[in-house]
Chains A and B, each alone.
Chain A
């Protein structure tokens, strides 16, 4: 396989949402051929430029986004592609670090204390990882102290808080107050999401943004990133 072939296939496999060779994707003919993970490793072996690899992954995700917008693709397709890109980024991470290339940003996410619902949280985590963010998933029913502790030690750029229930959404405000008390509030942008919350609620508790879903979360984070660089 030539270097050009690898790049073309990498993009195609992102579009197909094939994380590895065991995945079927959409085109059955690809079954058994290398997926994103194998192709990323092969690209590194062949010493293909990091920039080219990342461009192929990004170009694949752009096509996936377009297909989603035109209703050809659905969320499971987006997630499969994002998951594949996320895996590729994990492989590239040590090389990126060695080359002093920063990720788009560090994002921590948790379902707040008292709430064990995590479907939305997990989807957001997969999509953001696929969009090039470094994601730390703290899990469900996470005590406020643990979240504050993580922010203190790991300094994420963004903190996502999730809650499904009206009885647990108040914990989001508790976390924000605890961050303030610890002098950490200005170090991290707090985003909230979940069925029970809204834009108004985000303003009420002093969060930086409310995200309707994972795609919205990408847009919000990208806009924060843009504001940071400009």
Chain B
């Protein structure tokens, strides 16, 4: 049985059906005029051989092509793109089934930060009364390592609400190079979680090693197609409207192998996309449609997700503002566009602008997590633990995020109001009004243990104390102390034998470990 996710009964819609059609038509026009600049020769050839108008142009010293994609190609691609996408998992019970027309949300981590935020709790003594000592959390940023990636996959495995795992950090150990980064990040993650794993690819040359590793774990080539335990995220279109060479080439090869891929675009309203909602929506939709069209031209029927990471620009720095309300608006619009095409959506929420966990972080992430979830994206890349836009990952924050996703999941439970429930409670009402105390308390217990009553906030302090961070830190360490279901010894041995570049220290069965 795959994971259930959470079905949003009546998804929130920001834009009307007519506005969706208007965006769709505008995007089709953009794909024709001005079209896209393409830095990938392979992509230009594929478009050209399928009837798109491709003209050679130039951008500095780099050869590039202008591609005008006719509506027919886009419509055919939208027809052939699967409407249901399965993201498998090492533990088949953790598989995710995403239907483009069903607003069933799966919460997944993200993204790939350079910085890992450590936390500790040094003690401070009050100046005016030295008998009073308090512990205050302090956060220390440092470059992320492969050990951190293992830790975060380990904790995410045990986070109840997290349905799948996107690699959280960019591994930057001294012995990690561009050549061995992919195999190590895939192995470190897959070896520490049995949930679905999605990642970007650093180097195209490593694709076959990564796929072979996944085949060994899944039980063979066909088994991997049946149970795709890995998927890829590719930002092949750089805004505005440019196919990037390396990512586009990687995307083409991934599509050839038929593995699930999120076609993602991340324009920034104000700089790389128009500041107005209509403009950024028409552009991001065109960019994603261009990617989907290319993917389907490469391999008809290859599973793709409509990926959207639109963001608002900050007016003070022109940097990204994921905490801006507009960012959530754009994401919800994208959810609606993907649903219009019936293609599962990869959406974004929960990224905050602030650099450390705290009140601003809680407000920004909770706001977007709630509103975007209510719109019903299938794959919600919801930034467990991410801070400072996409620059920092904090495990403590991921544990805090799990708590509010529990609330959100509970909130979205289907209301249990039916004739049987009403009949039972009518009986209770009649019984209770006959008693001297007139209390319904005795009926609570059964319901309480059936999971129908929401749990209190798990990091609630006693009295007037705010112990949220301390309690979440305790929880984080409890999760880290839980066992990890590693890949079995035989498969691990095969992986280390066949896949070059793996760091020996990642082999948990190695003598001395």
Which A residues are closer than 8 A to B by beta carbons? Answer: 17, 23-24, 26, 74-77, 79-80, 83, 118-119, 122-123, 125-126, 137
Contact = CB atoms under 8 A, between A and B. Distances in A.
Closest 9 pairs (CB-CB, A-B): A76-B444, A122-B437, A76-B445, A76-B441, A79-B441, A122-B439, A24-B446, A80-B445, A80-B442
Given A26-B449, A118-B437, 9 more contacts: A24-B445, A26-B445, A75-B441, A76-B444, A76-B445, A79-B442, A122-B438, A126-B437, A137-B436
Interface of B: 436-439, 441-442, 444-446, 448-449
Contacts of A79: 441-442
B428 to A, nearest CB: 14
A122 to B, nearest CB: 4
A186 B97 CA distance: 73
Contacts of B448: 74, 76
A123 to B, nearest CB: 8
Nearest to A122: B437
Contacts of A126: 437
A157 B431 CA distance: 33
Helix, strand, loop or mixed for chain A's interface?
Answer: helix
Nearest to A78: B441
Contacts of B438: 118, 122
Contacts of A76: 441-442, 444-445, 448
Nearest to A126: B437
A75 B448 CA distance: 11
Nearest to B445: A76
A109 to B, nearest CB: 12
Contacts of B445: 17, 24, 26, 76-77, 80
Contacts of B444: 76
A125 B438 CA distance: 13
22 contacts: A17-B445, A24-B445, A24-B446, A26-B445, A74-B448, A76-B444, A76-B445, A77-B445, A79-B441, A79-B442, A80-B442, A80-B445, A83-B442, A118-B437, A118-B438, A122-B437, A122-B438, A122-B439, A123-B439, A123-B441, A126-B437, A137-B436
Contact of B437 (A23, A24, A75, A125): A125
Nearest to B447: A76
Contacts of A17: 445
A71 B446 CA distance: 17
Contacts of A26: 445, 449
Nearest to A119: B439
A125 B5 CA distance: 44
B435 to A, nearest CB: 10
Contacts of B436: 137
A79 B445 CA distance: 10
**Considering residues B436, B441, B444, B448, which has the most beta carbons from chain A within 10 angstroms of its beta carbon?**
B441
Nearest to B435: A122
Contacts of A118: 437-438
Contacts of B442: 23, 76, 79-80, 83
Contacts of B449: 26
Contacts of A123: 439, 441
A83 B437 CA distance: 12
A71 to B, nearest CB: 9
A199 to B, nearest CB: 14
Contacts of A80: 441-442, 445
Nearest to B442: A80
Contacts of B441: 75-76, 79-80, 123
A137 B435 CA distance: 13
Contacts of A77: 445
Contacts of A125: 437
B464 to A, nearest CB: 14
Contacts of B437: 118, 122, 125-126, 137
A24 B450 CA distance: 13
Nearest to A137: B436
A79 B438 CA distance: 14
Nearest to A77: B445
A26 B447 CA distance: 11
B475 to A, nearest CB: 14
A17 B449 CA distance: 14
Contacts of A74: 448
B511 to A, nearest CB: 42
B125 to A, nearest CB: 29
A77 to B, nearest CB: 6
Contacts of B439: 119, 122-123
Looking at B438, B445, B446, the one whose CB has the most chain A CB atoms below 10 A away is B445
B447 to A, nearest CB: 9
A118 B445 CA distance: 21
A17 B444 CA distance: 12
A108 B109 CA distance: 57
Which of A76, A77, A79, A125 counts the most B-chain CB atoms under 10 A from its CB?
Answer: A76
A28 to B, nearest CB: 9
A77 B449 CA distance: 11
A26 B450 CA distance: 11
A80 B444 CA distance: 10
A83 B435 CA distance: 13
A125 B436 CA distance: 12
A83 B442 CA distance: 10
A125 B448 CA distance: 23
B39 to A, nearest CB: 59
A75 B439 CA distance: 13
A26 B444 CA distance: 11
Contacts of A122: 437-439
Nearest to A16: B445
Contacts of A119: 439
B433 to A, nearest CB: 14
A118 B441 CA distance: 13
Nearest to A19: B442
A165 B444 CA distance: 26
B417 to A, nearest CB: 22
A17 B434 CA distance: 21
A76 to B, nearest CB: 4
A125 B437 CA distance: 10
A118 B449 CA distance: 26
Contacts of A24: 445-446
A75 B438 CA distance: 17
